[in-house]
Amino acid sequence: MFDKFKEEKGGEMVEERNYQNTNEVKSSQNVESVIGIGELIGKRAKLEEAIDYVGLMIKNLKEKRTMLEKDIEEESVDIKNLKEKLQKVSEYINEESRGIQELSEKRLKVENEADEVAIIINNLRDKLLGIDAIVGEEKNRVKQIKEKTDSLEN
């Protein structure tokens, strides 16, 4: 029914026939077949082979499952590391966004102060122009008075 199996490099089960044991079982079956024990021994041998085969399959399945568990755990660790890195990148982006917003607000304040300074400068310039005009008028009056006094003296 089942022959012995063994595992080769690829992890697959391959059939290995043991011809010498088969011949011995057949000759002993002829002698003992009179009472039926030979057939019983043959069935037991085949069942043992089947059990060994199933055991080997179970062992291979356990190895494959262990390898899968290991691979899944490694992937899980890699994904957790990636997630942590992405969270750090997200935090960095948020910090940079806040920093840019703060710089924008500071720039707006500086622009407003510059506008205020420009208004003050314009007001002072207008006052200076007014003072300059007054000084110019007074200079002309002084000049006229001096000319009148000079002409009276002559």
Residue 115, domain member (yes or no): no
Residue 29, domain extent = 5-107+146-153
Based on the structure, what is the number of domains in the chain? 1
Whole-number pLDDT of residue 154: 66
Where residue 108 falls (left for φ over 0; alpha for ψ -120 to 50; beta otherwise) is alpha
Residue 130, domain member (yes or no): no
- CA angle 98/91/79 to nearest 5° reads 160
In angstroms, the CA 76 to CA 79 distance is 5
In angstroms, the CA 131 to CA 128 distance is 5
What are the distances in angstroms from CA 43 to CA 1, 29, 48, 51, 117? 8, 11, 9, 12, 109
Whole-number pLDDT of residue 48: 95
Q: Confirm if 48 and 64 have CB atoms less than 8 A apart.
A: no
Mean pLDDT split into 10-residue runs, the chain, 154 residues: 46 47 51 70 92 96 96 96 97 97 97 97 96 93 88 76
Residue 30, domain member (yes or no): yes
Nearest to 25 by CA among 13, 15, 37: 37
Residue 123, domain member (yes or no): no
Report pTM: 0.46
Whole-number pLDDT of residue 40: 86
Whole-number pLDDT of residue 37: 85
Whole-number pLDDT of residue 33: 54
